[in-house]
Amino acid sequence: MKEFEEKFSELQSDMISICMEYVEDRADKVYVYASREEGVTSSSFFYLINNKYVECHKVNDALENGDERYDVSQDRMFMVLRILNEDIGKIKALCEEYGRDVPTEMKLIYDVNSGKFRAEYQYDLIYTNDDIKTADDIADEWFEEIKNNNL
């Protein structure tokens, strides 16, 4: 069982690492939303930078005067999303290999300053049985919830 936990943790760490690389390790908190339901894989990521919650494509909005700008090109953003989605696939395969339930949703929070990592998992369908909502809607709702409650 220890081997499963270690591999699972490694994949989550990889997800946080690629998001930190995107902002050149300059963020206070990293938030990763990862979802896999009914064959649909989705991910998104956002940050707390200088006490501002910002989505990945708006990280430069959080910079103070004189701060070096982030490269928020679509190529870099898609590279991060591709790696996140690959890791979600690897987590699914790992869970199946070890006979574990595959999470339909993972919300990962990494506090850079304290080094604390928190994860929440869901195993029920979140959006595939909803007529209106998509994975992106759920990710956007989480961003708003975090921003409004300063989590």
pLDDT digit string, tens, across residues 29-68? 999 999 999 888 999 999 999 999 999 999 999 998 888 9
Phi, psi (rounded to 5 degrees) for 32: -125, 130
Q: Which domain holds residue 31?
A: 2-149
Q: For residue 81, what are the contacts with CB-CB under 8 A and spacing of at least 6?
A: 43, 44
pTM equals 0.94
Nearest Cα to Cα of residue 33 among 42, 24, 22: 42
DSSP tag of 38: T
Phi, psi (rounded to 5 degrees) for 109: -130, 125
Q: What is the pLDDT of residues 60-93, one digit of tens each?
A: 999 988 889 999 999 999 999 999 999 999 999 9
CATH of the domain at 98: 3.30.500.20
User: Total domain count for the chain?
Assistant: 1
